[in-house]
Homo-oligomer: A and B are copies of this chain.
């Protein structure tokens, strides 16, 4: 079974890793959100892309959900001592990625090309693609005005109240080379358990209409997210955060929806949306959980 997976950071990376454990390299392409990329300290930082790459390479920090394992923090500590901006915590190993990427982008290379070379250096066999080579920037509209995504997410710790989103540049951005092909040749498109508003929506806007069966895994379990502000965003936008809200979010494109056992009660309502359901344990605490959930989601997609 050939899969094109759409992913943001932490949760998306975990399921992508589960899929990568089961599928041969030629059967999995992970298309990653770049809407929260940003330039900072002269570096070019792609948080979701890096989290997916680090996770598939076995380099990710299992504690934080971002950054590298066995990390040191000497550069950022010294930047702080010099009075520089240190609110975005960049580890020394991680820094290399952003420095080298910025250097190659400045030379005129494409993000997708750089990502391909980085994946090779990290011994990642499966294909990881940025959604686009053109910059798209997620702007969060809040009660305190517009905030660039990382300002909202990291610097302000998601505290401002969300009123909406804007994806700067999305109307001019083409899918990166390989994105359309990966979707066209896939048996199913799998939306990983990432934030629907700020991780998956930008990808969906970039790729346009999807003429494949689409299966999504809910990032919301029992009204809460494992990590990240998706539930808070739903609530602030006037929607009760739940697996049902996620199914509703994607209703126009969804053939199948995977929700947690804790959300069994929503099954009938999701089915009323003409979406097939799989109810299972969706929490991914360890590497085995990732493979187990990926296996269940693949079998479910295959059955549709």
Residues on A facing B (Cβ under 8 Å): 41-43, 71-72, 74-79, 81-85, 91-93, 95-97, 99-100, 102-104, 106, 117-118, 121-122
Contacting residues, chain B, for A81 (C-beta < 8 A): 96, 121-122
Contacting residues, chain B, for A74 (C-beta < 8 A): 71-72, 74, 91-93, 95-96
A-B contact pairs, 20 of them (CB 8 A): A41-B99, A42-B42, A42-B99, A42-B103, A42-B106, A74-B74, A74-B91, A75-B95, A77-B96, A79-B100, A81-B122, A82-B96, A82-B97, A82-B117, A82-B118, A82-B121, A83-B117, A83-B121, A85-B103, A95-B95
- Of residues A103, A118, A122, which shows the largest number of chain B Cβ atoms within 10 Å of its Cβ? A103
- Shortest C-beta distance, A262 to chain B (Å), equals 40
In the complex the two chains form, is B75's CB within 8 Å of A99's CB? yes
A41-B103, A75-B75, A81-B121 given; name 13 further pairs at CB < 8 Å: A41-B99, A42-B99, A72-B74, A74-B91, A74-B96, A75-B99, A77-B96, A78-B96, A79-B100, A82-B117, A82-B121, A84-B104, A92-B95
Complex CA distance for A91 and B84, rounded to whole angstroms: 18
Complex CA distance for A83 and B114, rounded to whole angstroms: 11
Complex CA distance for A156 and B121, rounded to whole angstroms: 26
In the complex the two chains form, is A78's CB within 8 Å of B106's CB? no
Contacting residues, chain B, for A106 (C-beta < 8 A): 42
Complex CA distance for A81 and B42, rounded to whole angstroms: 21
- Shortest C-beta distance, A271 to chain B (Å), equals 47
- Shortest C-beta distance, A111 to chain B (Å), equals 14
- Shortest C-beta distance, A227 to chain B (Å), equals 25
Contacting residues, chain B, for A78 (C-beta < 8 A): 93, 95-97
Given A78-B93, A117-B82, residue A41 in contact with residue B100 (CB < 8 A): yes
Kindly list the 7 A-B residue pairs having the minimum CB-CB distance in the complex, ordered from nearest.
A78-B96, A74-B92, A84-B100, A92-B92, A79-B96, A75-B95, A75-B96
Nearest neighbor of A81 in chain B, beta-carbon distance = B121
In the complex the two chains form, is A79's CB within 8 Å of B92's CB? no
- Shortest C-beta distance, A132 to chain B (Å), equals 22
- Shortest C-beta distance, A70 to chain B (Å), equals 9
In the complex the two chains form, is B72's CB within 8 Å of A102's CB? no
Complex CA distance for A77 and B97, rounded to whole angstroms: 11
Complex CA distance for A102 and B106, rounded to whole angstroms: 15
Complex CA distance for A97 and B82, rounded to whole angstroms: 8
Complex CA distance for A106 and B85, rounded to whole angstroms: 14
